[in-house]
Structure 1
Amino acid sequence: MTDKRTPLDFDAIRAAAVGNYVSTIFPAAGISFTKAAHQHQACPMCGGSDRFRCDDKRGEGTWICSQCGAGNGFMLVQQYTCLDVYETNKLIAGAIGIDATSEVTDEQRAQWQSQQVEREAADKAEKRQARIDAASRAQSIWNNAKPAADDHPYLLRKNVSAIGLRQDSSDNLIISMHYYSADKQQTTLVNLQTIAPDSEKLFLKGGLVSGAYFTIGSPAMFSGGVILICEGYATGATVFDAMSYSLPVIVAFNANNLIPVAQSIRAQYPDHRIIICADDDSATAAKLRDKDIADGKEPKPLIEYNTGIHKAQQAAISINGEIVTPSFDILDIDKDAA
């Protein structure tokens, strides 16, 4: 008897898997979707509702979850099943019905590589055009919107004012999203976030989000040497008010965007004191950790489930900045410094 595993050609398996993740591989691994794969829905791993989608870029089963992060189809299968690399490849090979032990020729490898390069080039061109189109739509929507009213239902629920916001004919709040290009040293409008009266938040389809931000406060406020960064508009407006309208606040829109936004602001203001005002998701973190334990999974450190704090810490470290939690006690000093 021997425990030696039969050699598998991982390259052949992964190449053959392209285009088969959503239709064949995921179901074989027990991963099911309640909606079309590309729509927001419950995450197969963390279970959070409406935070996961599978965009299946290049046919590689790519996915995004606001809690778990992002990855390709192989990663999703491996994380969901808790199998090692060998067993994951074996499962995928069986799902698509290929002989995982067959020899792969140099011609096949060259063909797969060429096809991959073509897919990546097409995907890059498609994404670039989508961003251009979204930026154009954003400018048109912004130009045709009116200043937002403070009595908008979302603002009333959050007890904040409309600072630099606009409102469309359907009573959606409109928040402009700007991106700083280090090469051109200029900031441009690239996208919008809309907030409906019922609090539903959306970005323009195809628009750039990573690194894009909204500024609360006037340009003159940046001369004070302190900049605050937070996730959402309501938090930003609350902090801005708490600081007596004296310090600029940058809105990053979500936790995963804190790092690219913080790095963008640092590039523009290398000598400023930058403070990340973190959202504390401790209640959600405890539930997610308990779920992992109940599912028999090895729990991660609790901080890794607390997306607001964890991403804020990473953002602060990446720019040599600071972090404060929702008490914001440290900011009392900043009122005098501004």
Structure 2
Amino acid sequence: MKIIDRYILKRYLLTFFTMILLFIPIGIMVDVSEKIDKMIANQAPTSAIIQYYIDFTFYFANLLFPIFLFLSIIWFTSKLANNTEVIAILSSGISFTRFLKPYFIGASIIAVFAFMMSMFIVPAASQGYNDFRIKYLKGGRDKDRETNNIFNQISDNDYVYVSSFRPITQTGYNFTLEHFEETELKYKISASSIRWVEDDSVFRLASYKKRIIGPENDILISKARHDTLFEFNLDDLTPVSYVAETKNLFELNKFIEEEKRKGSPNISRYMVVKYKRWSLPISAFILTIIAVAVSSMKRRGGMGVNLALGIALAFVFIFFDKVFAIMAEQSNFSPLLAVALPNIIFAIIAFYMLQNAKR
């Protein structure tokens, strides 16, 4: 590796991590100022608050990864351009493509770092972040579960339905369980409500009815109240909306397969999370090309113009990323296409801007 490659690569990595170290404390200070009252009101322990902000750091660093990467490259490349270092490098006979080599090495390092973070570190941070948020910032009111018209296949033979669910009281209403053997219904359990009783570790059913389907006559069992056990828990019945974000690479693949078997209506949401983790390293290369193309030319407005353009492009990228993700979650739009489209669109932009930069 030549001296110029080491010089650019060092600036690439140093500026990226410095950008993170500068902005994350600001984000923490803003978050503290907004939420300290709720933390005190809900008596959050100091150790839990410290762990929350450790998780907060990883969670938001991953979330804002495109902006940090984009701005850091524009920042140090604009300084190179303003100091006429880029002109000097290209005038020495080095092609623009060769000039990009240390940028691609840096993007490769960042891509591996981002991949490992998103697959194995951020899921645990997401779990801790959301657990604290629900327990101490929402006062234990879990608002991130599906609560209406919940249908789930809990085993190969059993199907469960509740019309509504209240996480606070752990109660479901208009409960139905149907047990099939092959394609034949064997029995059906219904109740006006089902509630998990923590002290007794049982499910309590009100207005309990069980119909056993016989070859000639059915058997009907009715009780005002019935305590029993089932082969499912509340997390199986109503997983939180962010459940996929809390699972690592291997856990997520297994979880998605199980949810497909159950016929979960949230498969698209989970697939978007999975594909985003794989697309994040690819975006590192695309954003690197665009950032270099934007900032390698010396402009009359200086670094400010490059930063303004960079911030605008970064937010457009995040906007497309969010819009297509919502489309996939709320409609029949392909999750893979929803995740790939922002990278495809910006890859085309990167190619066009790169050709102009070479000229």
Q: TM-score, normalised by structure 1?
A: 0.29
Comparing both structures, which one devotes a greater share of its residues to helix?
Answer: 2
Higher relative contact order (CA 8 A, sep 6+): 2
Decide which structure has the larger Cα Rg and report it. 2
